[in-house]
Amino acid sequence: MHIPDGFVNIGTAVVTYAGSAGAIAYSVRRTNQDLKEREVPLMGVMAAFIFAAQMINFKVAGGTSGHLLGGALAAILLGPWAGTLVITAVLAVQALVFQDGGLLALGANIFNMAVVGVWSGYAIYRLARKLLSGSKGLWVAGFAAAWCSVVLAALVAAVELAISGMAPLGVVLPAMGLVHVLIGIGEGLITTSVLAFLSSTRRDLLEWHAVGAGGAQ
């Protein structure tokens, strides 16, 4: 769902850059407060995993692309603030080194994936875990969070493209939405698989953040 340069107008770029900058600043402050020293290496591991996953792109109408996001998984394991920083770092490297998404559109891409994708995924996960307990609840919550985060981020990107005059909302919204409904299923399955693996091998990675958030995973 990377938006390339030239696909958002100046107004949209300025607004999304401002929103992303504010979210990143707040995330840095909260991460410094909440993240423990032993969790810092996990941020690097997550960034590497998500970077590799996002390199697999699916072409979408209007010159944009779709791919796995990883925001929900990062938020579940690290919390939303660290998750935002991880996805931001991945997007910045992709834009600067691999020209995947442009500099003018970087604010929009960060807002869509590192803010909307991460925070919505985390909120849905926390809500689902309050309603569903046990291992099955963990898997259902992880799948729902991952699927929703991808779809919501894609829909926000579609709205930005429509506001920028690149395509009518009636065209770009279903084009982005339908593709990412399918991509979200893949993301949900991958997220669920990772959570199931960690629940059997490294339960502590699922539990440490729950303590800080005031609930059990």
Question: pLDDT tens, 56-111?
Answer: 666 655 555 556 788 999 999 889 999 999 999 999 988 888 777 778 899 999 99
pLDDT of residue 212: 42
148 domain-assigned = yes
161: CATH: 1.10.1760.20
Number of domains within the chain: 1
- pLDDT higher than threshold 90 for residue 161: yes
Its domain, for residue 126, covers 10-213
How many residues would you count in the chain?
A: 217
11-32 mean pLDDT? 95
What gap in Å lies between CA 52 and CA 110, rounded to an integer?
A: 17
Structure confidence at residue 162 as a pLDDT band (50, 70, 90): very high
- Picking from 185, 158, 133, the residue whose alpha carbon sits closest to that of residue 61 is 158
What sign results for the dihedral spanned by CA atoms 130, 135, 138, 143? negative
| DSSP 8-state symbol, 166 | S
Helix orientation angle between 169-201 and 134-163, rounded to the nearest 10 degrees: 150
Structure tokens at 46: 């997550």
Q: What is the pLDDT of residues 181-196, one digit of tens each?
A: 888 888 898 889 888 8
The H-or-E segment that residue 58 falls in is: strand 57-59
Residue 48, in any domain of the structure: yes
Contact 145, 122 (CB under 8 A): yes
User: Is 40 within the bounds of a domain?
Assistant: yes
- Does residue 5 form part of some domain? no
Which residues partner with 66 through β-bridges?
58
4: left (phi > 0), else alpha (psi -120 to 50), else beta? beta
Whether 211 has a pLDDT exceeding 50, the answer reads: no
Report, as an integer, the average pLDDT of 166-181: 87
User: Do the domain assignments include residue 4?
Assistant: no
Name the range with the highest mean pLDDT among 146-150, 170-174, 178-182: 146-150
Write out pLDDT tens, residues 114-159. 999 999 999 999 999 889 888 788 889 999 999 999 999 999 999 9
For residue 1, tell me if it sits in a domain: no
pLDDT confidence of residue 202: 74
Residue 216 has pLDDT above 90, yes or no: no
Give the pTM: 0.85
Task: Please state, in angstroms and as integers, the Cα–Cα distance from residue 96 to each residue in 77, 104, 117, 170, 189, following that order.
Answer: 27, 11, 21, 32, 30
Asked, for residue 143, whether it belongs to a domain, the answer is: yes
Tell whether 2 is covered by a domain.
no
In this prediction, residues 14-24 reach a mean pLDDT of: 97
Q: Which pLDDT score, from 0 to 100, does residue 102 have?
A: 77
